[in-house]
Amino acid sequence: MLIERAYVDLPQGEGTPEDGWPWTVPCVRQLVEEGLPFRAPVTFLVGENGSGKSTLAEALAEAFGVDSYGGSAGYKYASSREPSVLGRAMRFDPTAVGRRMVRGPRTRRRGFFLRAETALEALSRERLSQAPGDMSHGEGFLMAFREKFAQPGLYVMDEPEAALSFTSCLELVGLMSDLGSGGAQIICATHSPLLTALPGAAIVEVGDHGMRQAQWAELGLVDHWRRYLKDPQAYLRHVLPR
């Protein structure tokens, strides 16, 4: 692991709910007040749309020196915008192994930020064995995983399952496991019960309550998927015309 804890460093009196977004988001408020500890090489951020998990993921990537548009650590690719206000304020307590990357110059950092919305364009700027535009969306994701997720570093992903089939998600789980056991650290915002089932991973559930550590079997997304697959009509009757 590279990072033991993320926290926010702001002048006294700043970053209050009166300052507006993102300081009004419950998980960001908790981050300001308590920080976010990392207890395993792989950490999943789960929660409903709008809960703030993607806001956290982006800020973590920005604080590590990765372009918010996505891509490899140590370089800026697609956007010229400055990091978000949360990304600028984010700080890390690094491990002994991670100190050189976290506190050294940008060029020493190793890792990748993959966000579903901008992945293909960001990947087109990477050095890969094949152009992502010459293959399907999912195949492009998997090629990036295989070729860019290959050394100790910080890998931040925002809903990587968006383009992946069930089988491809399983391949990603295997890759995450290999990276984590090889000294890398992964932080992944996701809606996937398949990804979050990775043994030994930490799960942080994000919502109106802020952030809390959770077990896979206790997650709302796992419960809903289990019940939906058992009886789809129990859900569909509420959304389909009669």
Return the pLDDT at 37.
Answer: 98
Distance CA 159, CA 114 (A): 8
CATH number, domain at 169?
Answer: 3.40.50
Half-sphere exposure of 180 (CA within 13 A, CB side): 22
The helix-helix angle for 166-181 and 137-148 (nearest 10°) equals 10
Return the pLDDT at 133.
Answer: 74
Q: Does residue 83 fall inside a structural domain?
A: yes
Return the pLDDT at 220.
Answer: 93
Q: Does residue 158 fall inside a structural domain?
A: yes
Q: Does residue 237 fall inside a structural domain?
A: no
Q: How far is CA 36 from CA 2, 128, 177, 179, 210, in A?
A: 14, 34, 22, 21, 11
Return the pLDDT at 224.
Answer: 96
Number of domains in the chain: 1
Q: Does residue 168 fall inside a structural domain?
A: yes
- 128-132 long-range contacts, Cβ below 8 Å, gap at least 24? none
Two structure tokens written together for 140:
């492009």
Going by C-alpha positions, the residue among 170, 165, 162, 167 that lies closest to residue 191 is 162
Structural domain including 200 reads: 3-216
Two structure tokens written together for 13:
């009196």
Q: Does residue 26 fall inside a structural domain?
A: yes
Q: Are strands 202-207 and 210-214 parallel, antiparallel or unpaired?
A: antiparallel
Q: Does residue 54 fall inside a structural domain?
A: yes
Q: Does residue 182 fall inside a structural domain?
A: yes
Return the pLDDT at 80.
Answer: 59
Q: Does residue 204 fall inside a structural domain?
A: yes
- The segments of the chain whose pLDDT lies below 70 read 74-81
Determine the 3-state secondary structure of 17 from DSSP: helix
Q: Cβ(156)–Cβ(162) under 8 Å?
A: no
DSSP string of 54-90, one letter each residue: HHHHHHHHHHTT--TT-EETT---S--PPPPHHHHHE
The pTM score is 0.93
Return the pLDDT at 81.
Answer: 65
